[in-house]
Amino acid sequence: MESKNDRGGPAQPLLALRGLTKHFPIKGGLFGNTVATVRAVDGVSFEVMKGETLGIVGESGCGKSTTARLLVQLLGLDAGSMVFDGEAVGEPRASGISLRNYRRQVQMVFQDSYASLNPRLPIEDSIAFAPKVHGVGEREASERARDLLAAVGLAPAQFARRYPHELSGGQRQRVNIARALALQPRLVILDEPVSALDKSVEAQVLNLLVDLKAKFNLTFVFISHDLNVVQFISDRVLVMYLGEVVEIGPVEAIYDRPAHPYTRALLASRPSMDPAKRRTVPPLVGDPPNPVNPPSGCRFRTRCGFAEDVCAARKPVAADLGDGHLAACHMATLDSGHSKAGAILEVVV
Amino acid sequence: MSAAPLMKLTDLSVTFATRDRTVHAVNGVNMELAEGEVLCILGESGSGKSVTLRALMRLLPKFARVTGGIEVAGQNVLAMSERRMADFRGGEVAMIFQEPMTALDPVFTVGRQIAEVVQRHEGASRATAMARALELLELVQIPSARRRLDAYPHELSGGLRQRAMIAVALACRPKLLLADEPTTALDATVQIQVLLLLRELQQKLGMGVIFVTHDLGVAGEIADRVAVMYAGRVVEEGPVGSFMAGPLHPYPRGLLNSTVHGNMRGKVLTTIPGAPPSLSSVPTSCSFSPRCAMAEAACEAGVPAMVEAGGGRRARCIKIAAG
């Protein structure tokens, strides 16, 4: 499967995103004019490499779910470009890939396992639906659905004709994963796939995802607010704050040597399981600001303990810390004008 | 426990009977809470943890059948009249919920909602109650509190809304605070702020707190003692330190192992096979035995008794030696 579809070889990113932007207008007033704009995703660039799991973390309102919806083109881009294995998405004429073809190769699993299945279809029909739309015969589609049910650990003889309400949350999420795999995609976007599940079930689904990824040669984009889960499943991690990328890098670099003050605070906010190591001071005060009117310069500066004048005046550029580890902080750039410029690189957390 | 406990549940059972089916949500819970103690009730969805909490304030729907004993500060809660109950709720016992947006009234300002509690329970004048509301907003560390008195719930961020709800709950200095997953809907950096605030307030005011959560990390941050529920029963209880170091009962042990924490990359997570029982009838044997790797014929013989294992720890499992 991989060899048939792979075009650019293993070194070419499966998906390259440049300046991804999505703004939502807020309408109001007598004539329904645009009164404000939510800058949900504001110039986000990153690459998804073949065969990796890229984790995206951030708090509510940081734009991680909007990013997911842009990746599967459930939302149109306001600006920016998407290149899928060397082909521009949505430009079928000029060496591009049509949307229909792109969607066949990029599938999504949503957080709410019940809302994302048709309540009036037996789960087998839900899974077979997309292949049929894409021209697979009735019999073959149904066969594929049953194979996938078996692959996600639901015995077809027992489960195929059941309706979504007859399943538990964990079983429904397995069905959603099977549905996403029905078109034999290369990239699967998982938007908080285990957040609504109990811990013992969460572990089952995480194990399943790891197995399926190896079995079907998949690439994952895994979005979650749970830092422990992201650390478990990801090869690389991207941290978002108010619609922007603040840090990206290999999972070890992000968790062992976080460079951005926001990433550090986020990691320090995890409750410790050890009552002897309780926190006494919260790493951050306040809530994330409203993305309607984000702060100038560095968007994190209003909650950052190291903020200086330069942080309000200029937007930090992503500094390369080696090994694909990038952080958008003035302290990570030597000539930024911040009094602690460069110091952040030595501090070990 | 030498002194009389602040809260005592004796063989508490809750059954929901509707025309279609009956659910035995809580099946004989015994629990005690000392004054100024923080107890975390841990459990997954359907374990009966929230129902137990709601039964304590008699907040369950009319078709719920509650049996057993509920005692708070020496008073029998189940025998109280509705009028007495109205004084009791918010006066001696208060509750905070998971969703502050639905728990607060959207058409009244935050200040009004706090003042209302003070006026109702302490008979204070409107002006005194408003002054007390301001003190409470400062107590829960809401920045520019005076301005926020006139704010409506939708004008506050999630973290501030949760703080406002805590202020409403603390308005009459309750002896017992019930918290039903109050930080679950919050972001990571805000959750830790609210947890630290609750711990600080609990120490300052000396309240007893019962904190319901599914998150072991939250229990690790806030609890003195932990009670784990499964299928409507407490399966293990003990001080948080020894519990986190190594649970006695196979269910919490499985729960701790299947929770992703620290660096577990590349490892296969340990899982608990199967799913919790349906609770359409009262379990007559160990409810966990169908999912338990250590189960044997004796587990089916009856509901295992609570075994005292020393150090204030006890668990419902026939494999545990009394200590």
Q: pLDDT-derived band of residue A4, with 50, 70 and 90 as boundaries?
A: low
DSSP SS3 for A247:
strand
Number of residue pairs across A and B with CB atoms under 8 Å?
Answer: 122
In this structure, the answer to whether residues A156 and A293 fall within a common structural domain is: no
Residue A348 has pLDDT above 50, yes or no: no
Residue B297 has pLDDT above 60, yes or no: yes
In this structure, the answer to whether residues A308 and A217 fall within a common structural domain is: no
Task: Give the pLDDT confidence score for residue B274 in this predicted structure.
Answer: 82
Does residue A189 form part of some domain? Answer: yes
User: Average pLDDT for residues A41-64, to the nearest whole number?
Assistant: 94
Task: Find residue A89's DSSP bridge partners.
Answer: A97
Does residue A241 form part of some domain? Answer: no
In this structure, the answer to whether residues A230 and A269 fall within a common structural domain is: no
User: Domain extents for chain B?
Assistant: 7-92+174-315, 102-173
User: Average pLDDT for residues B94-108, to the nearest whole number?
Assistant: 92
Residue A92 has pLDDT above 80, yes or no: no
Neighbours of A114 (CB within 10 A): 14
In this structure, the answer to whether residues A265 and A230 fall within a common structural domain is: no
Measured over the CA atoms of residue B184, residue B190, residue B196 and residue B202, the dihedral's sign is negative
- The set of residues, in sequence order, having a beta carbon less than 8 Å from that of A20 and lying 6+ positions away, is A41, A43, A44, A45, A67, A70, A77, A79, A80, A82
Distance CA A93, CA A293 (A): 39
In this structure, the answer to whether residues A296 and A207 fall within a common structural domain is: no
Residue range A193-237, pLDDT digits in tens: 998 888 888 999 999 999 999 999 999 999 999 999 999 999 999
Find the helix or strand (DSSP H, E) in which B163 lies. Answer: helix B158-170
Q: Do A59 and B254 touch (CB under 8 A)?
A: no
Neighbours of A211 (CB within 10 A): 14
Does residue A315 form part of some domain? Answer: yes
Maximum pairwise Cα distance, chain A? 68
Lowest mean pLDDT among B138-147, B167-176, B267-276: B267-276
In this structure, the answer to whether residues A123 and A219 fall within a common structural domain is: yes
Q: How far is CA A140 from CA A117, A127, A144, in A?
A: 21, 12, 6
Task: Give the pLDDT confidence score for residue A200 in this predicted structure.
Answer: 83
Residue B279 has pLDDT above 70, yes or no: yes
Residue A155 has pLDDT above 70, yes or no: yes
Q: Do A269 and B188 touch (CB under 8 A)?
A: yes
- What was the ipTM of the complex prediction? 0.86
The letter for the amino acid at B171 is A
In this structure, the answer to whether residues A298 and A230 fall within a common structural domain is: no
Burial class (CB in 10 A: 0-12, 13-18, 19+), A244: buried
Task: Find residue B180's DSSP bridge partners.
Answer: B212
Burial class (CB in 10 A: 0-12, 13-18, 19+), A158: exposed
From chain A, pick out residues whose CB is under 8 angstroms from the CB of B293: none
User: Average pLDDT for residues B236-249, to the nearest whole number?
Assistant: 95
- A49 versus A90: the higher-pLDDT residue is A49
Among residues A166, A170, A74, the alpha carbon closest in space to that of A124 is found at: A166
The letter for the amino acid at A68 is A
Does residue A284 form part of some domain? Answer: yes
Distance CA B45, CA B62 (A): 22
Chain B nearest CA to A200, separation (Å)? 6
Does residue A250 form part of some domain? Answer: no
Distance CA B186, CA B158 (A): 7
Residue range B65-88, pLDDT digits in tens: 999 999 999 999 999 999 999 999
Taking any CB pair shorter than 8 Å as contact, residues of chain A touching chain B are 59-60, 168, 170, 198-204, 206-207, 210, 225-229, 231-232, 251, 255, 265-266, 269-276, 278-288
Task: Give the pLDDT confidence score for residue B1 in this predicted structure.
Answer: 47
Task: Give the pLDDT confidence score for residue A346 in this predicted structure.
Answer: 58
User: Out of A200, A227, A229, whose CB is closest to B272?
Assistant: A200
Place of tokens 């009977």: B17
Average pLDDT, whole number, for chain B?
92
From chain B, pick out residues whose CB is under 8 angstroms from the CB of A270: 188, 217
In contact, A99 and A90? CB cutoff 8 Å: yes
Q: Do A229 and B270 touch (CB under 8 A)?
A: no
User: Out of A203, A270, A285, whose CB is closest to B271?
Assistant: A203
In this structure, the answer to whether residues A209 and A280 fall within a common structural domain is: no
From chain A, pick out residues whose CB is under 8 angstroms from the CB of B261: 228, 273
What is the residue-wise DSSP string for A205-235? HHHHHHHHHHHTT-EEEEE-S-HHHHHHH-S
In this structure, the answer to whether residues A90 and A130 fall within a common structural domain is: yes
Find the helix or strand (DSSP H, E) in which B49 lies. Answer: helix B49-56
Total residues belonging to chain A:
349
B122: left (phi over 0), alpha (psi -120 to 50) or beta: alpha
Burial class (CB in 10 A: 0-12, 13-18, 19+), B111: buried
- The set of residues, in sequence order, having a beta carbon less than 8 Å from that of B4 and lying 6+ positions away, is B74
Q: pLDDT-derived band of residue B321, with 50, 70 and 90 as boundaries?
A: confident
Does residue A28 form part of some domain? Answer: yes
User: Average pLDDT for residues A339-348, to the nearest whole number?
Assistant: 68
In this structure, the answer to whether residues A170 and A57 fall within a common structural domain is: yes
Name the domain count of chain A.
2
Among residues A95, A55, A21, the alpha carbon closest in space to that of A233 is found at: A55
Distance CA B5, CA B34 (A): 5
Residue range A56-67, pLDDT digits in tens: 999 888 999 999
Distance CA B248, CA B316 (A): 9
Residue A263 has pLDDT above 80, yes or no: yes
User: Which 8-state DSSP code applies to residue A91?
Assistant: -
Residue B169 has pLDDT above 80, yes or no: yes
Q: Do A269 and B189 touch (CB under 8 A)?
A: yes
> Checking DSSP bridges between strand A187-191 and strand B307-310, what pairing results, if any?
unpaired
The letter for the amino acid at A78 is D
B182 touches chain A (CB under 8 A): no
Q: What is the CATH number of domain B7-92+174-315?
A: 3.40.50.300
Among residues A70, A79, A82, the alpha carbon closest in space to that of A43 is found at: A79
What is the residue-wise DSSP string for B105-122? -TTS-HHHHHHHHHHHHH
Q: pLDDT-derived band of residue A31, with 50, 70 and 90 as boundaries?
A: confident
- For residue A291, give its domain range: 261-345
Does residue A174 form part of some domain? Answer: yes
Spatial strand order in the sheet of A53-57 = A106-109, A187-191, A219-223, A53-57, A236-241, A244-250, A326-327, A319-320
Task: Give the pLDDT confidence score for residue B141 in this predicted structure.
Answer: 92
Q: Do B261 and A207 touch (CB under 8 A)?
A: no
User: Average pLDDT for residues A92-98, to the nearest whole number?
Assistant: 77
Task: Give the pLDDT confidence score for residue A40 in this predicted structure.
Answer: 93
Distance CA A129, CA A31 (A): 42
From chain A, pick out residues whose CB is under 8 angstroms from the CB of B200: none
In this structure, the answer to whether residues A180 and A36 fall within a common structural domain is: yes
User: Average pLDDT for residues B297-302, to the nearest whole number?
Assistant: 91
Average pLDDT, whole number, for chain A?
91
Task: Give the pLDDT confidence score for residue A128 in this predicted structure.
Answer: 96
Task: Give the pLDDT confidence score for residue A19 in this predicted structure.
Answer: 95
Distance CA B144, CA B161 (A): 14
Q: Do A276 and B241 touch (CB under 8 A)?
A: yes
Lowest mean pLDDT among A278-292, B51-65, B93-107, B207-221: A278-292
Domain with residue A160: its CATH number is 3.40.50.300
Q: Do A204 and B271 touch (CB under 8 A)?
A: yes
Spatial strand order in the sheet of A96-97 = A33-48, A15-28, A79-84, A87-89, A96-97
Does residue A88 form part of some domain? Answer: yes
Find the helix or strand (DSSP H, E) in which B307 lies. Answer: strand B307-310
Spatial strand order in the sheet of B176-180 = B93-96, B176-180, B208-213, B38-42, B225-230, B233-239, B313-315, B307-310
User: Average pLDDT for residues B161-166, to the nearest whole number?
Assistant: 94
In this structure, the answer to whether residues A324 and A206 fall within a common structural domain is: no
Task: Give the residue from chain A lying closest to B223, CA to CA.
Answer: A275
Task: Give the pLDDT confidence score for residue A349 in this predicted structure.
Answer: 42
Test mutation, A60, A200, A272, A304, chain B, max B CBs within 10 A: A200
Alpha helices for chain A (secondary structure H): 2-5, 64-71, 99-105, 123-133, 138-151, 156-159, 169-181, 199-215, 227-233, 251-256, 261-268, 309-313
Residue A1 has pLDDT above 50, yes or no: no
In contact, A270 and B262? CB cutoff 8 Å: no
Q: pLDDT-derived band of residue B323, with 50, 70 and 90 as boundaries?
A: low
